[in-house]
Amino acid sequence: MTELNIFNPFNAPVFHEETVSSTMDVSRRLAAQGRAHGTVIAADFQEAGRGRIRGRIWEMDRGTGLSFTVLLRYPRMNDIPAALTLRAGIAVSLAIEDFAPLLQGMVKVKWPNDIMINEKKAAGILCEANDGIVHMGIGINVTQNGFPSHLRGKAASLLVNSGQLSMNIEKSAQDIKFCLLEKILVRLYEELNAGKSGDWKRRMEKRLFKKDEQVLFMEGAADSGMEVRGRLAGIGEQGELLIASDSENIIRSFFNGELVLYK
């Protein structure tokens, strides 16, 4: 494990490994060693990268994406910011727009943890919490030129969507990713220190994917079969999804579930 020489506003080390099982596992080890709030572990390749939905893997060709986990310590449960995953989504979206200005206004957050560009997923966020520690894992497709057939039409990369990423072509792929990582840490630090309430909900709703559109939502587990159809009305105080359902003519809130895009 090497320590990267990049700016981390959390004032904690940013580690890098070529290959890991999952940066979530490494982050847990770093936590057990007593590493500080804001410590980061980034990897070029994860042999067992995981997604939010149980059993789903997070796959990425070696070196094409940015995969990392931020270790966040909240000794008092009450200090954990509300809607942490969504707020991380705001930070990642802003950082992508800082990084690739051509994408300004195009980066959306699909509830609860996906970052979308042109209706396709460019990044995902996974927060795992226990004993006052949150491991915030973030995976971003950066330099992929294409995707395997099962992801085609569903996945986006910053390279494909922003043309040339508005960046110095001389830079190595690794430098490009670390530059993006730095921008994400800056935005994440700002977001997490914006005060408990802040105005994250308003900012979130501005970039909420499918806001005010008709959606199909699968309540609970991905295979629950409990379909809800209605208008995506917004986000509640705790980060829950609000849907004005067609059948009951009321606004219902959901803490678990997934918006269905491909059926």
Q: Are 73 and 39 in contact (CB under 8 A)?
A: no
Q: What distance in Å separates the CA atoms of residue 21 and residue 57, rounded to the nearest whole number?
A: 12
92 touches ligand BTN by CB under 6 A: no
Nearer to ligand BTN among residue 147 and residue 230 (C-beta): 147
Provide the sign of the torsion angle of the four alpha carbons 231, 233, 236, 240, taken in this order. positive
Pattern 94-113, ligand BTN, x by CB under 6 A: -------------------x
Nearer to ligand BTN among residue 12 and residue 24 (C-beta): 24
69 touches ligand BTN by CB under 6 A: yes
Contact positions with ligand BTN (CB under 6 A) in 136-155: 137-139
Side-chain-side CA neighbours of residue 176 (13 Å): 23
DSSP 200: H
Q: Out of 8, 46, 141, 161, which residue is the one contacting ligand BTN (CB under 6 A)?
A: 46
Q: Out of 126, 155, 188, 241, which residue is the one contacting ligand BTN (CB under 6 A)?
A: 126
From the list 4-12, 22-30, 70-78, 233-241, the region that binds ligand BTN by CB under 6 A is 22-30
Q: What distance in Å separates the CA atoms of residue 107 and residue 245, rounded to the nearest whole number?
A: 26
- The letter for the amino acid at 219 is E
Q: Are 73 and 46 in contact (CB under 8 A)?
A: no
Q: What distance in Å separates the CA atoms of residue 197 and residue 11, rounded to the nearest whole number?
A: 24
In angstroms, give the least distance from the CB of 40 to ligand BTN: 11
> Residue numbers of the site for ligand BTN (CB under 6 A)?
22-24, 46, 49-53, 58, 67-69, 113-114, 124-126, 137-139
